[in-house]
Amino acid sequence: MGAAVALAARRAALLAGLGLSAGAAAAAYGWWEKDQFTLREETVAALPPGSGPLRVLHLSDIHFVPGQTAKVRWLAGLADLEPDLVVNTGDNLSHPDAVLPLVTALKPLLRFPGVFVPGSNDYYAPVAKNPAAYLLGPSNRKPLPRRIELDWRSLFTAFGAAGWLDLTNRAQSMSVAGVRLDFSGVDDPHLRRERYAGWPVPVPGPSEGPSLRVAVIHAPYQRVLDHFTDAGAELILAGHTHGGQICLPGYGALVSNCDLPTWRAKGLTLWEQDGRSVPLNVSGGIGTSRFAPVRIACRPEAVLLTLTARPA
């Protein structure tokens, strides 16, 4: 009996050691993958017939922390894409001292027309939590603890000074590459701050040419997607999910940190509501919380959307 007990103990110790080794290997891989930045390219036939192509760079969930030199170089290099428009769907920050170095990193992109909405980690610094808790549901399911407020006012001011439009519960228009873009944006639904502003009212006078209605949100909760689909959006852009951040190869995301189905946690799909469908692009995001700095089978990404004309 003593020999059997000793053998079982050795097997248990071996399994525990293997588990620890596998966990350490996964953590090391995830630390490496978080800096393997990628560009996902999509083509969406969303513009009015006869329109020329329009290139939109979609950024989300940068979660910047001072000292992230690889991220700085990659962000600055995105300016080489020469986009017609930059859309930023929030969660830019992950540290109280991140605003100035982030704006410096984004400076090459700030020369292009742009729009933005905030996420919760523009307003508040992330807090340490058990990553397994995300498997139980969105991180806002319980009252938030007291959090450190970030300098979101300076961030918004810097974006605005560069000419980027603030779409926080606002509707605004701009003309890009000969197309009038009518934007409607909301504050972060993850904080339940969304308030709908409708769509911009056309200015009386000569026609401005073709137009496109674009909804811009941070967290793609179904109630918000349904609202914008019902309201006549022709393209919806969102972030927040990190693409699941930790995914299973061959399966995909385990969580979306909202009520979006996990198979939609990253990528271009059609959102359907009451017989109407709208292209929905959910960015897998660029960063991570500084308390969980890993990605597995879910590389950080920016998205270059080429909008083309719908068939006549």
Instruction: Mention every residue, 6+ apart, whose C-beta is less than 8 A from residue 179.
Output: 47, 48, 51, 54, 209, 210, 211, 212
Strands 211-216, 179-185: parallel, antiparallel or unpaired by DSSP? parallel
Q: For residues 139 and 307, what is the distance between their CA atoms, to the nearest angstrom?
A: 33
pLDDT beyond 60 at 16: no
Q: Bridge-partner residues for 39, per DSSP?
A: 302
Q: For residues 285 and 276, what is the distance between their CA atoms, to the nearest angstrom?
A: 27
pLDDT beyond 60 at 15: no
pLDDT beyond 50 at 18: no
- Of 19-28, 88-97, 142-151, 174-183, the least confident: 19-28
- Of 80-84, 143-147, 157-161, 261-265, the least confident: 143-147
Per-residue pLDDT averaged across 243-271, rounded? 96
Q: What is the pLDDT of residue 136?
A: 60
Fill in the DSSP letter of residue 244. G
pTM, two decimals, is 0.89
pLDDT beyond 60 at 43: yes
pLDDT beyond 50 at 131: yes
Per-residue pLDDT averaged across 186-212, rounded? 85
pLDDT beyond 90 at 11: no
Q: Bridge-partner residues for 237, per DSSP?
A: 216, 281
Per-residue pLDDT averaged across 33-50, rounded? 96
Q: Bridge-partner residues for 184, per DSSP?
A: 171, 215
Fill in the DSSP letter of residue 124. B
pLDDT beyond 80 at 142: no
Q: What is the pLDDT of residue 196?
A: 98
Residue 228: closest CA among 288, 287, 182, 176 = 182
- Of 1-15, 55-69, 194-208, the least confident: 1-15
Residue 298: closest CA among 40, 98, 79, 52 = 40
* pLDDT averaged over every residue in the chain: 89
Torsion (CA) 285, 289, 294, 297 in degrees, nearest 10: -30
